[in-house]
Amino acid sequence: MTDVLTIQNLTKSFGKETVIDGLTFSVPEGSIFGFIGKNGAGKTTTMKMTLGLLAADSGEITVCGERVSFGQTATNRHIGYLLDVPEFYGYMRPKEYLWLCGEITGLENAKIKSRSEELLKLVGLAGINKKIGSFSRGMKQRLGIAQALLNEPKLLICDEPTSALDPVGRKEILEILRQVKDKTTVIFSTHIISDVERICDRIAVLDKGRLALSGTIAELKAKHKSGGFTATFDAGTDKERVLGVLAENHLQPIGVEETEQTIENLFMEVIL
């Protein structure tokens, strides 16, 4: 498996504050790569350097084997980029916007037309012809994905694509990302761990500008086995009886916890 993106010894500071401190990792082709970290951990900075929007202080970034340079970088033709809150020209309609993107990126007219229709259908915006200014955040996010995938990029970089959305919007975006996985490698930054578990197969955890953890989810889980386990019973089960049976067999649990209904589940039940 070749690497679509490699980052070597990357360093970046803003003033005296070091945001990225000797970061090294790579993203193999065909993966959905979860890039995890707290707010301010340096995720967006790393992504912007990958796109040539910010200048790195030192280190090297390559995309599909080509080196990224600050400012005008040819490597962007391999990349589709989705911001956390993508901004569009509010006075344009979705098709006009995709047309503009297509012309900028140098697609043929026939190709722009077919790709636009295909992608608007994929993201569920087919037939919507109102101005982007009146879109909800979720709709903008979906248009953002369509825009990012227009030139069939080898690498799709999504910067917290789900963070600003409600649970329904999040689920839709994750579903779309899962669907495009066969055609493009996806890097997906987030601080929502459950989203990562849902769709990613590899992760890197960024902390204070350094890599704290990385590998495939399966590897990491195998390596960091807790040894303990959780058993969950139906709501109707008699707790005392279960504990009794355990005690009879000399099995002493270190803790007993009653499962609470999660608000996320409740929300989903009410909304859907």
Partner 1 sequence: MRAYLAFTKKEFIENLRTYKLLILLAVFLLFGVMSPLVAKLVPEIMQNLGIGGIKITLPEATAMDSWVQFFKNVGQIGLLVLAVVFAGIMSNEFSRGTLVNVLTKGLKRHTVIFSKLTAAALIWTMSYLLCLAVTYGYTVYFWDMGELQHVFLAFFSMWLFGLLLVVLLILGGTLFKTFIGSLLLAGGAVVAMTLLNISPKIQKYNPVTLCGDNTALLTGVKNASDFVPAVIICIALVVVLTTVSVVVFDRKQI
Please report, as ranges, the residues that interact with partner 1 according to CB under 8 A: 48, 51, 53-55, 71-72, 76-77, 79, 81, 83, 85-89, 91-92, 96, 100-101, 103-106, 144, 147, 150-151
Nearer to partner 1, 20 or 205 (CB): 20
Nearer to partner 1, 159 or 172 (CB): 159
Nearer to partner 1, 107 or 196 (CB): 107
Alpha helices by DSSP H, listed for 106-234, are 109-122, 137-149, 167-180, 193-199, 217-223
Structure tokens at 108: 């043929």
**Within a 13 Å sphere around the CA of 10, how many CA atoms are in the beta-carbon half?**
30
Nearer to partner 1, 104 or 247 (CB): 104
What is the closest distance, in whole angstroms, from the C-beta atom of residue 107 to partner 1 in the complex?
Answer: 10
How many CB atoms neighbour CB 1 within 10 A? 7
Nearer to partner 1, 87 or 258 (CB): 87
Q: Which residues lie across from 60 on neighbouring strands?
A: 8
What is the closest distance, in whole angstroms, from the C-beta atom of residue 159 to partner 1 in the complex?
Answer: 10
Nearer to partner 1, 155 or 174 (CB): 155
How many CB atoms neighbour CB 22 within 10 A? 14
What is the closest distance, in whole angstroms, from the C-beta atom of residue 196 to partner 1 in the complex?
Answer: 24
What is the closest distance, in whole angstroms, from the C-beta atom of residue 32 to partner 1 in the complex?
Answer: 20
Q: Where do we find the tokens 């839709």?
A: 172
What is the closest distance, in whole angstroms, from the C-beta atom of residue 64 to partner 1 in the complex?
Answer: 14
Compute φ and ψ for 233, nearest 5 degrees: -110, 165
CA geometry: angle at 55 spanning 54 and 56, to 5°?
115
Nearest alpha carbon to residue 139 among 165, 104, 174: 165
What is the closest distance, in whole angstroms, from the C-beta atom of residue 160 to partner 1 in the complex?
Answer: 14
Q: Are strands 66-67 and 58-63 parallel, antiparallel or unpaired?
A: antiparallel
